[in-house]
Amino acid sequence: MTERVTIPIAEQRYDTALPYVPESQQAPTGRLIDARGRPLHDLRVSVTDRCNFRCGYCMPKSVFDRDYAFLPQSSLLRFEEIERIVKVFVSHGVEKVRLTGGEPLLRKDLEKLIERLARLTTVNARALDLTLTSNGSLLTRKAAALRDAGLQRLTVSLDALDDDVFRAMNDVDFPVCDVLDGIDAAAKAGFRSIKINMVVKRGVNDHQILPMAKHFRGSGHVLRFIEFMDVGASNGWRLDDVMPSRDVVGAIHAVFPLEPIAAQYGGEVAARWRYLDGSGEIGVISSVTEPFCTDCSRARLSTEGRLYTCLFAASGHDLRGLLRGGASDGQLAGAIAHLWQSRADRYSEIRSSQTQGLRKIEMSYIGG
């Protein structure tokens, strides 16, 4: 009998101490630059560690089973707490916020959080760029309400068009037609941009690359192919299972010719390609074969308010403790500034023997 490995969230947390910022000390405001010269630009906020799917590369059933200890409700950041932390990040120059999880649409009343965040403006007096990543399973029901709450952009994860392959990958037998209907519902609701994320796992869904490209070209939605990453400690990652993005681009280019296009902004994770016949563009996210740590401008806030400065970080920083302990906005801003300014993460660039055996936090907790 194989031994079941469970890594409850409580055992995954390794906090490093936050600096004490006296109330009297003026917190630095404005843009923050880390120890490698990278500005803080994006914040990803995980609103739940729970999910109704069990994708093997993220929340394999063998680990995330019915005995798995998900976070209790009282541990979750409340909406007003998330809003307060986001405001402090915005005062430090953050322009883009992505809500994620787990499956963010499982969080009760999420529209109320979106309403709060959608009205924030950046230090340059522009509307905050607010977006959300979802597995699409609840979108047919929720797309209109999300749009009404002020969400303008959306990313839907979809790993295959073939129903059998998709059901096997989500591992809860969820049909692909319901996600496709959800994407259509989002388009009807008037989202300004809809992106589709496909994680490619060699030998599992690489034969779905072309059908997916064919389906979404000309739709106005940008399909992005993500290399299978070694996030967390439970997905059994092996380099052999990674399909390099250059092979994905090569396979599509052979049938639908492509040309590269420039990034829209510094630090954009996806390299962009457009179809020569004008039927849209695709993106590839090559965190394994072409790491982009040099430009990485993202911070991550976990479901219970821990701040991580890298997707592969082993430890986080307890902002919720500060918040609930009565810290002022200035003290929060000071702590965040200290953390970002001392950040030197570059996991994907040094991924190799140096990173093997490192303890890492799970993607569903930290937010993808």
Binder among 91, 135, 170, 286 for ligand SAM (CB under 6 A): 135
Contacts of 251-260 spanning 24+ positions with Cβ under 8 A: 251/209, 251/210, 252/209, 252/210, 252/213, 252/282, 255/210, 255/213, 256/213, 256/214, 256/217, 258/282
Identity at 91, one-letter amino acid code: S
- 24/199 Cα distance (integer angstroms): 48
- 214/161 Cα distance (integer angstroms): 10
Judged by CB, which is closer to ligand SF4: 40, or 58? Answer: 58
Span of 79-87, 96-104, 255-263, 327-335 interacting with ligand SF4 by CB under 6 A: 96-104
| 237 near ligand SF4, rule: CB under 6 A | no
**CA atoms within a 13 Å half-sphere pointing along the CA-CB vector of 360:** 25
| 243 near ligand SAM, rule: CB under 6 A | no
| 137 near ligand SAM, rule: CB under 6 A | no
Judged by CB, which is closer to ligand SAM: 229, or 301? Answer: 229
**CA atoms within a 13 Å half-sphere pointing along the CA-CB vector of 33:** 2
| 57 near ligand SAM, rule: CB under 6 A | yes
| 55 near ligand SF4, rule: CB under 6 A | yes
Q: Build a one-symbol-per-residue string for 332-351: x at contacts with ligand SF4 by CB under 6 A, - elsewhere.
A: -------------xxxx---
| 102 near ligand SF4, rule: CB under 6 A | yes
Tokens 């004008």 appear where?
278
Which residues, other chains included, contact 73 with Cβ-Cβ below 8 Å and sequence gap of 6+? none
| 242 near ligand SAM, rule: CB under 6 A | no
Closest CA to 94 of 290, 312, 300: 300
| 228 near ligand SAM, rule: CB under 6 A | yes
| 199 near ligand SAM, rule: CB under 6 A | yes
56 binds, among ligand SF4, ligand SAM, none (CB under 5 to 8 A by kind): none
| Chain residues 126-185 in contact with ligand SF4, contact rule CB under 6 A | 135, 157
| 170 near ligand SAM, rule: CB under 6 A | no
Judged by CB, which is closer to ligand SF4: 97, or 310? Answer: 310
Q: Build a one-symbol-per-residue string for 89-118: x at contacts with ligand SAM by CB under 6 A, - elsewhere.
A: -----------xx-x---------------
Q: Helix axis angle, 176-189 relative to 139-148, nearest 10°?
A: 20
| 225 near ligand SAM, rule: CB under 6 A | no
According to DSSP, the residues that pair with 153 across neighbouring strands are 193
134 binds, among ligand SAM, ligand SF4, none (CB under 5 to 8 A by kind): ligand SAM
| 310 near ligand SF4, rule: CB under 6 A | yes
Q: How many helices (H) and strands (E) does the chain have?
A: 12, 12
| 47 near ligand SF4, rule: CB under 6 A | no
**Residue 163's CB: how many other CB atoms inside 10 A?**
13
- 202/243 Cα distance (integer angstroms): 5
Give the phi and the psi of residue 355 in degrees, each rounded to 5. Answer: -105, -5
First to last CA, the chain: 33
What residues make contact with ligand SAM under the rule CB under 6 A? 51, 57-58, 100-101, 103, 133-135, 157, 197, 199, 226, 228-229, 231, 235, 363-364, 368
* Residue ranges binding ligand SF4 (CB under 6 A): 51, 53-55, 58-59, 101-103, 135, 157, 287, 292-293, 296, 310-312, 345-348, 364
